[in-house]
Amino acid sequence: MDRRLRPTVFMLLLLCPKGAILSHFNCPSRCQCFTPAQVLCADEHMTSVPKNISREAKEVIIMTSAVQYLFPTAFDESPQLHKLIFLNNPLQSIHSRAFQNLSALQELEISGNPWLEHLFLGTFSKQENLTKLQLNYNRFHTVLPGMFNALRNLETLQIKANIISDLPALLFRNLRNLRALDLSLNKIQKVEGETFSGLIALEVLKINNNHISNISSDTFHHVAHLTELHLEGNTIAELADEIFSALPKLKVLNLRGNRLVTFSDDVFAREASNLTHLDLRGNRLTQVSSLSTLTSLTDLFLSSNQLSGLPEDIFRNVTSLENVDLSENNLASLPEKIFAELKRVKMIHLHKNRLSRLESRLFQDQEFIQQLYLSDNQLKNLPLGLLDHFALPHMLRLHGNPWRCDCHMWYLHDFVLNNNQGVEAPDRMLCESPDFLRRRPLASIGRDELLCRLPEEEMTDLSGCTLRKSSDSLVIKCKVEKCSSPLTVKVEFLERNGSIQEHVWKSVHSQCSNVTISKAAVP
């Protein structure tokens, strides 16, 4: 149990059976008063608001009661209230004058009333000092124009999880001090410039999880102080160029779970944006054309799209990037320089793509990476040196690839054995080929079992050759049937560290003859 809860529970147990203890606080019946200023009524048999709330009370909370109606005189005796909260009650109707004497109210919440379908005009007409109004989880279809006109000091307004489909124009025009507006989880289909006009101080706007498919290009022209914009969970398929250009302070833009097929920084103003967090997960992106003005961007989420390729310069100038999520796309390869100069990167997620090979210098600037996910791709091998640039302890995810456990695997094999803290679930890194190592964890295989066999057809070519090894030299004698001139001999030596050293000799003779080519090679 959470330690902080204990004293409260203890008090409830102590006080409940002995109502008498409460009397010196003047606590209304069916309620609890832990201090004279706080009244909590949570009685499922309470059918009306308590009449005789003490004059000392500043906060009243009425929850899980049976109160269905709020009448005009409900709070006439308590004009001093600062905070009034209704939570999870069966309210059906609130008289437009129910709160008329509560002009000192600073916080009002009416949430969780499954039968409350609307509010009458004038309900909040006396709440000039209100700073926070929460109307969540009710059944409002709409909000009447003018409903919030008196709330000049309001800073937070939440009307989330109702069933509002339409917002009147100019509904919020008097809310010049509003900083946070939450309209999420409704059925809003359209927003436009007039919807948000007047909200000159607005910093956080949530219109996520609605039915918005089309945003007109002037929608955000009146909210220049916005720092966070949540549009996730709508059905937006297209964004007009410069649609966010009036938002120079925007830091967080969430477009997750829409239907976008392309994205580019043309949606912002031309000068460098202040954006730090861009979420485009779960769209239908096949193309991301440019992000180069996003020089402050630290977090970029592009997972669960349909990207099959990215331009080499996509992150050019996006040098603040720390977290890049490209997982669950169709990427088959990545340009070698795509992460070049991104020296602050801490996390790259590339899992669940179709990557079959990586360039050995792909991560050469990611010295400070902490998390690299390459699992569930089509990788058979990793190029030599790919993982040599990392300076800090890091977490690598490599399972779910069809690893080919042959002599080219020595590099990765040694890396896994030497970094057993840094490779997640190495026992899930299984060989796919050759057959005799299939399903065996790479880490369980000895280095000398990782062999390369010459294919049959290459072997027959060597039938005319003999191989003799003496203490310090290797003699290869070959009979060559068809002779090109000049003759080139290429020998590959496999080094201990897995790299291949190639030696090439050319005969200087212009004609085919019995020649001896010799060269000292240090394996």
Ligand X SMILES: *[C@@H]1O[C@H](CO)[C@@H](O)[C@H](O)[C@H]1NC(C)=O
**Residues lying near ligand X in the complex (CB under 6 A):** 26, 28-29, 52, 76-77, 79, 100-101, 103-104, 129, 214, 216, 248-249, 271-272, 274, 292, 313, 316-317, 384-385, 495, 497, 499, 513-514
Give 100 or 305: the residue with its C-beta nearer to ligand X: 100
CB of 314 to ligand X, least distance (A): 9
Min dist. Cβ of residue 250 to ligand X (A): 9
Closest CA to 141 of 88, 93, 186: 186
| Nearer to ligand X (CB atom), residue 246 or residue 430 | 246
Q: CA-CA distance, 186 to 234, in Å (whole number)?
A: 10
Strand partners, 433: 404
> What tokens appear for 276 in the block?
């730090």
- Give the end-to-end CA distance of the chain in Å, rounded to a whole number: 66
Element (H, E) at 416: helix 410-418
Q: Which H helix or E strand runs over 11?
A: helix 6-15
- Give least dist CB 407 to ligand X, A: 14
Closest distance between ligand X and the C-beta of residue 442, in Å?
19
Least gap, CB of 510 to ligand X (angstroms): 15
CB of 26 to ligand X, least distance (A): 4
Q: Which two structure tokens, joined as six digits, stand for 499?
A: 């790299």
Nearer to ligand X, 461 or 495 (CB): 495
Phi, psi for 457 (deg, rounded to 5): -65, -30
* Distance from C-alpha of 119 to C-alpha of 117, rounded to nearest angstrom: 7
Sorted by sequence, the CB contacts under 8 Å of residue 387 that are 6+ apart come out as 363, 396, 415
- Is residue 371 a contact partner of residue 348, using CB atoms and an 8 Å limit? yes
Of 79 and 198, which has the nearer Cβ to ligand X?
79
Pick the closest to residue 320 from 301, 294, 349, 338 (CA basis): 294
Closest separation between CB of residue 122 and ligand X, Å?
A: 12
- Non-local (6+) Cβ contacts of 408 within 8 A are 381, 452, 498
Q: Provide the 3-class DSSP secondary structure of residue 54.
A: coil
| 81/159 with CB nearer ligand X | 81
Least separation in angstroms between CB 28 and ligand X = 5
Q: How far is CA 150 from CA 99, 134, 171, in A?
A: 13, 16, 11
User: CB 361 → ligand X: shortest distance, Å?
Assistant: 12
Question: What minimum distance in Å lies between the beta carbon of 80 and ligand X?
Answer: 8
> Whose Cβ is closer to ligand X: residue 274's or residue 370's?
274
Indicate the residue among 202 and 437 with the shorter CB distance to ligand X. Answer: 202
The closest alpha carbon to 159, from 102, 109, 120, 124, belongs to 109
Taking the least distance from each CB to ligand X, the nearer of 3 and 24 is: 24
Which lies closer to ligand X via its Cβ, residue 451 or residue 521? 521
Neighbouring residues of 433: CB distance < 8 A, sequence distance ≥ 6: 380, 402, 404, 405, 406
Q: Are 355 and 377 in contact (CB under 8 A)?
A: yes
Q: Which of 54/330 has CB closer to ligand X?
A: 54
- Residue 266 phi/psi, 5-degree rounding, is -60, -20
